[in-house]
Amino acid sequence: MCGRFVMARASSDLVPLFDVDVSGDSLPDPSWNIAPTRPVTVLIDAAPRGDDAGGPPVRRLAAARWGLVPAGSDGPAGPPVFNARSETAAEKPMFREALASRRALVPATGWYEWQALPDGGKRPVAVRLPDDEVLLFAALYEWWRDPGAEVGSPSRWLLSTTVLTRASSGPLAAVHDRMPVLVGADVMDDWLDPEAEGDDDLLQGVAGLSDEIAARLVVHEVSPDVGSVANDSPSLLLPV
């Protein structure tokens, strides 16, 4: 999966669509050219605490940095870790603990890939479902605490996420070899469940079901303007 995607729906539209209990502050506006390190919207099911402990999970809609920042790291330095391979995530120290208990979904209405051409060049293409149906990317998340921030400061805690990928299938297979792990509504509760055992079996089971969604994907060439993060408008999705 390349490092650009689209979320053309307002965050408020997702609340009834995915039975959200708590909607966070400063959720991202719609964007047609989301790049790594930018804020993205994530869906998370969190186990309740305090007097509500033992109750059903609370579904939260929150803003997160696209590019995972592990809890024990020095912070958001270096190249952003915006993708994680589903085939090896359960083995990698950076992703293993997040897979076990910090799983999320990133809503999107499409993404971009750059297709290699026989002459050595590349062309950008948009990948989406018909009628701008919302896609759900399987993701992992982490909380990183800034040791230099004061207690109570909004910058003390950073929520970050990475999107899981797998081998492409459906129409996309002729364009690019990787795609996000696409999660259907029928398995989203299992993926988000904080009580479910987050292991390789769960991940591979969810990743394998992506084929059904991938078969419905529509792919078409778009303008090279998408290559610049300074460009962000619905026109980026127009076929050329």
Domain limits for position 186: 5-226
Within a domain: residue 236?
no
In a domain, 232, yes or no: no
- Of 125, 130, 133, 129, the closest CA to residue 238 belongs to 125
Q: What is the pLDDT of residue 147?
A: 82
Task: Give the separation between CA 66 and CA 39, rounded to whole angstroms.
Answer: 6
Residue 12 lies inside a defined structural domain of this protein: yes
Residue 237 lies inside a defined structural domain of this protein: no
Q: What is the pTM of this model?
A: 0.94
Q: What is the pLDDT of residue 229?
A: 94
Distances in whole angstroms, Cα of residue 106 to Cα of each of 19, 55, 197: 15, 24, 20
**How confident is residue 114, by pLDDT bands cut at 50, 70 and 90?**
very high
HSE-CB at 23 with a 13 A cutoff on CA atoms is 14
> Is residue 54 over pLDDT 80?
no
The answer to whether position 57 is within a domain reads yes
Interval 23-52: pLDDT, tens? 988 999 999 999 999 999 999 998 876 566
Tell me the two tokens of residue 101.
């208990």
Amino acid residing at 80: P
Encoded tokens for 64: 């997160």
Q: What is the pLDDT of residues 172-222, one digit of tens each?
A: 999 999 999 999 999 999 999 998 989 999 999 999 999 999 999 999 999
Q: Which pLDDT belongs to residue 85?
A: 97
User: At residue 122, what is the residue type?
Assistant: K
Asked if residue 163 is part of any domain, the answer here is yes
Q: Is residue 28 part of a domain?
A: yes
What CATH number does residue 17 fall under? 3.90.1680.10
Overall number of domains in the chain = 1
Strand partners, 15: none
